[in-house]
Structure 1
């Protein structure tokens, strides 16, 4: 088992660099890795002999990298989500459950659960970047850090945006957000009253719940003062914290417009989550449409002709809120 001495997931990125910098020759890969990372490079070059694809999932290096990507997303902070497998039929409860008080020798009322079938199909999020061969072979640690940050934040950002955007009703390629169809409360100028209304509209389990917002809204919450001048939410901040004892998660991809930000209250125990593989591949023998809308006309660029390598990270992921009332949303938050 080998891991990089750098940040979590860096071993995987260095393996990718070795494939590109060393070419197809194992000897050149060994020389490249050893010259760049010393003794650790020998282990890296051995890991880089085969392509890094979904077939590597389950290896410590690939698992470490997938966990690093997940931790950058809101999903990484939601502890207690329900792990499920792709394409497997599940039963989701669509009503609440409550028992009854029963007198001595009296018949017990029946509790009827309303269930609905549900299946999470495998969907994928992709981060595609290009870098020159000279940049890839540069020995600066900034190259590896930049590649890792771009691939991780690209995937994590797309996941967060799909997970949180109330307008995302889902499609064949993207899961619906957990906030879509949830109760929505318009914020006022009274933060305490707004949070009270948010909790009142919420029917999930507060002991397993989280608040999610963007850094600007989290900062605004941290600056709210009460009548006596003290901060109402001293444990909140742009990097998270807590509000009223509820953990606060922050993502810059949480929706925000001119009216303000969004504050979502999410019961993690009601979220079904499937995420089981990551694939990182590279090519310097193709042409790319250099556009973020590749279906529209775009300039095609030959990677071979320009001495450029493209790297693509693909994560299979899907999620669903399976608890009625397990999410509530406060919009227009601008204190």
Structure 2
């Protein structure tokens, strides 16, 4: 190898090293973990100014880089790095989130456009007679739309939140995913299910009901199905579960995504590829001095409780989105 060949090889190696370094941390699991780190730091540093400072000094380089541009807490949510961390986190909890399951098949619109139109056509004919005639399948003005916002709150005592260790983190992460998904699921189903929903009677067998609901639904490249948690548990043990769906949901078969809803009484089938949606993502805010309505059990009456007086911390979780849909959801009522 002569000097010129060695120099070319060195340049190529340097370029490959630079490219590899630029992709460090872009793994979805690392980015999802970084978003949880970010949420936990905001939870523990409940003052808005101190939370931004804590993020900038965080030991996770993905978190500190995402917060580098922010001066105040609201500035965080305008950055592309935070958007990437958030997207990875939402993808990691998709099996329990109807909105994120819909995004696998729906037309996901870019956030910063004022008007959207989509058209397509295909023909098979002689040249003179085969001119395509595109049909518009999406015409949406984003300037006049009304977005939907869901909100949830996560509360822990300061002693538990600051205990540290793997156990406290796992508890925080589990409660965060539940808060994000449950609030969004409830609001989204209320949005989609209206008087035009197609209702059919159930048989009492979850698999037969699922098949009947899919037959009654409009054609789609993929379906998202919300159903009672007991039905999901039943289907997860069936030999027909070729997608590896777990007890809380997932892919039942390719093209059919299932989400368990604890208080549901009916199965709801959504033709996902016939939907367009705009997702503004999550915003997190810490709140130490808030007064919340809390209860000892789901059946107990609510009582106003001050987080400050109970030495607790709170994290407010908001998500905003818009769905453009002309499809009818199919409801399969529970059978006897």
Extract unaligned runs of 5+ from structure 2.
1-23
TM-score for both structures, normalised by structure 1: 0.64
1:235 aligns with 2:242: yes
Extract unaligned runs of 5+ from structure 1.
169-175, 225-230
Between the aligned partners of 1:42 and 1:64, the Cα distance in structure 2 is 8
Displacement of 1:74 in angstroms is 2.1
SS of residue in 1 equivalent to 2:192:
coil
**Does the C-alpha gap of structure 1 residues 235 and 284 become closer, same or farther in structure 2, counting only changes over 3 Å?**
same
Say whether the 8 Å CA contact 1:124–1:315 is kept in structure 2: yes
User: Which residue among 262, 265, 270 is the counterpart of 2:267?
Assistant: 262
Between the aligned partners of 2:261 and 2:305, the Cα distance in structure 1 is 30
**Does the C-alpha gap of structure 1 residues 309 and 92 become closer, same or farther in structure 2, counting only changes over 3 Å?**
same
1:70-219 equivalent positions in 2, closer than 5 A: 71-72=92-93, 73-78=97-102, 79-84=104-109, 85=111, 88=114, 120-164=145-189, 168=190, 176-177=191-192, 181-188=196-203, 197-205=212-220, 208-214=221-227, 215-219=229-233
TM-score for both structures, normalised by structure 2: 0.64
SS of residue in 2 equivalent to 1:9:
helix
1:278 aligns with 2:275: no
Displacement of 1:10 in angstroms is 2.2
**Does the C-alpha gap of structure 1 residues 184 and 129 become closer, same or farther in structure 2, counting only changes over 3 Å?**
same
Between the aligned partners of 2:65 and 2:44, the Cα distance in structure 1 is 6
* Structure with greater helix share of residues: 2
Aligned alpha-carbon RMSD (Å): 4.9
SS of residue in 1 equivalent to 2:161:
helix
Between the aligned partners of 2:92 and 2:182, the Cα distance in structure 1 is 11
In the alignment, which residue of structure 2 is the partner of 1:10?
A: 36
Displacement of 1:178 in angstroms is 5.2
Displacement of 1:20 in angstroms is 4.4
**Does the C-alpha gap of structure 1 residues 17 and 68 become closer, same or farther in structure 2, counting only changes over 3 Å?**
same
Number of aligned residue pairs: 293
Displacement of 1:126 in angstroms is 1.0
